Amino acid sequence: MYARFWVSAISAIAITASAAGSDTLVFMNGDRLAGRLLDSRGSQSLHWQVAEGSPVVEVPVEVVHRVVFGRGEWTAPNHELSVMLENGDVLQGILSGLDDDAVHLESSWFGGAALPRKMVSVMSINTGGYFVLPDPGEPEDWRSNRSDAWRLSDGELVSSDFGTFSRDMPFAERIRIAFDVVGASASSGLTVQFFVANPEQPNSDNHYAIQLTGTFAYARKTSRPLPDEDNENPRPNTEPVGQPQSFDRRVHTGAMSVVILANLRSGEIILEIDGEEVASWVDPRGFPGETGNGIAFSNNSQSRIAIRNFNVSRWGGAVDEDDGVGLADDVVVTRNDDRFEGRITEMAGEVIELEAEGFGPLSLPSERVISVRLASETRERPRRLQGDVEVSLRDGGRLTVRLDSLEEGHLAGYSESGGEWRIDRTGISEILFNVYEEKFDDPDRARIGRPEFLLSPDW
């Protein structure tokens, strides 16, 4: 039986950091509670225990933003394929079959799944891994040009003053930078720099940057001329890439989801906000010298800002332009931008076999392939369902499912993208609740008020 009562220490616990190895419950108002998630009553409530031996409390899901699971011991699976669905979900695993209706994927976390072809956006061979950076990493990975300007706290990049936060990462020629930005600077004063040649001093050498100001987006590049006899240490030049582009957006919404797609070879840069493309630029000239593998965020104001759900993945180098129409042929894109259309007859192991138009049978080494788009008469997103949660997996995967039950060993749920799911709990890093509701403003600031259910006389 689960008690509903008031614990006198809960207000203090709710705003403290979680203990090592424990789970963290983050409320919609920003309060945090360390402990352990035991199970759930469908998608209605969670059963939470603050400490071993303490009473178990029932927490309504309506007041929960997310649950972050403690870092227990787990073995990284050898997943060779990444599959991105039309709704942005990403699943990693081993391809066990491919037919006219579905992509069949095997995973260490959820066993087997048949993913409808019409819901599969793109597949990527994991040469070097799908994710360049699956998460922000550790505090020591980042450098701040001002000690009090930025910090990495519980997986979120947080700033309250002017300053730049930067780090290096594995190199990828085509990248997809994704994050949520929350705070007063969400639409007025954020700059993102990428392909940074010198992460220790991002502004001193070659890189691209996007600045968001009001409802305008600016792209620019900083390039350092090559040294010569007259100038052995030339100063970098900063210039715009194309024109500023406006987007129809309320300035003070307080939160937005941002995706930056960048192709270093072609000079193409695309900005998406809240799932829609709002701006694009092309730099036809590139850089005179070498670029790098750094990334940086700059807060251009003294307003508080938080970067959440940050990751960098490999991008196939092409935006989905089907808009529900589908593809008549399978499309394979290689790392040097060659594009082959036809019918894939075999896709397993180290080779992709393709009956290509104009070429006949082709055997393409998987390590040369950056992305695969499958033929389908239509493109379709899985429908949103009441009780949907977003499940983040430890291999970098992400899946939206209706939560049916959560027990000690697994999560059970349903989605149109794969039917019934049974996900091993050891593979889950985080569960996001109320995914279709507006996120709270500031999870790092302690609030005076407590969640309403904690103030109930029944506690």
Q: Which of 31-35, 229-233, 452-456 has the highest mean pLDDT?
A: 31-35
Strands 90-98 and 45-49: unpaired
Q: What percent of the chain has pLDDT over 70?
A: 80
Alpha-carbon torsion 319, 323, 324, 327, what sign?
Answer: negative
Q: What percent of the chain has pLDDT over 90?
A: 30
- Average pLDDT of the residues in 227-248: 80
pLDDT at position 96 is 85
pLDDT band with cut points at 50, 70 and 90 for residue 78:
low
| Higher local confidence (pLDDT), 38 or 215 | 38
Model confidence pLDDT, tens digit, residues 312-339: 887 755 544 444 445 788 888 887 778 8
pLDDT at position 408 is 80
Report the Cα–Cα distance between both ends of the chain, in Å, rounded: 14
pLDDT band with cut points at 50, 70 and 90 for residue 188:
low
Sequential DSSP letters for 215-272: TEEEEEEEEPPPP-SS-SSPPPEEEESS--EE----TT-SEEEEEEEEETTTTEEEEE
Residues of the chain within CATH 2.60.120.560 domain(s) are 132-314
pLDDT band with cut points at 50, 70 and 90 for residue 159:
very high
Model confidence pLDDT, tens digit, residues 386-401: 999 999 887 778 899 9
Question: Is 444 a residue whose pLDDT tops 50?
Answer: no
Tokens representing 373 are 């788009």
- CATH assignment, 132-314: 2.60.120.560
- Average pLDDT of the residues in 158-176: 90
CB count, 10 Å around CB of 324? Answer: 11
pTM for this predicted structure: 0.63
Dihedral in degrees, nearest 10, Cα atoms 47, 66, 430, 90: 130
Distance CA 436, CA 454 (A): 24
| Higher local confidence (pLDDT), 184 or 452 | 184
Q: Which of 59-73, 221-235, 373-387, 404-418 has the highest mean pLDDT?
A: 404-418
Question: Is 450 a residue whose pLDDT tops 90?
Answer: no
Tokens representing 363 are 């055997």
Q: Which of 55-59, 124-128, 173-177, 380-384 has the highest mean pLDDT?
A: 55-59
Tokens representing 106 are 């095997």
Q: Which of helix, strand or coil describes residue 419?
A: strand
pLDDT at position 174 is 83
pLDDT at position 211 is 93
Model confidence pLDDT, tens digit, residues 258-317: 889 999 888 999 998 876 788 999 998 888 778 889 999 999 888 888 898 888 887 755
Average pLDDT, the chain: 80
Distance CA 451, CA 55 (A): 18
* H-helix or E-strand spanning residue 282: strand 276-282
pLDDT band with cut points at 50, 70 and 90 for residue 252:
very low
The letter for the amino acid at 36 is R
pLDDT at position 15 is 37
Question: Is 150 a residue whose pLDDT tops 90?
Answer: yes
Model confidence pLDDT, tens digit, residues 213-229: 877 899 999 998 777 66
Dihedral in degrees, nearest 10, Cα atoms 295, 18, 412, 388: -60
Task: Assess contact for 91 and 417: CB atoms under 8 A.
Answer: no
pLDDT at position 298 is 94
Model confidence pLDDT, tens digit, residues 4-25: 433 333 433 443 434 445 888 9
Model confidence pLDDT, tens digit, residues 121-136: 888 775 555 678 878 9
| Higher local confidence (pLDDT), 269 or 26 | 269
| Higher local confidence (pLDDT), 241 or 408 | 241
Dihedral in degrees, nearest 10, Cα atoms 269, 236, 160, 217: -30
pLDDT at position 133 is 84
pLDDT at position 218 is 93
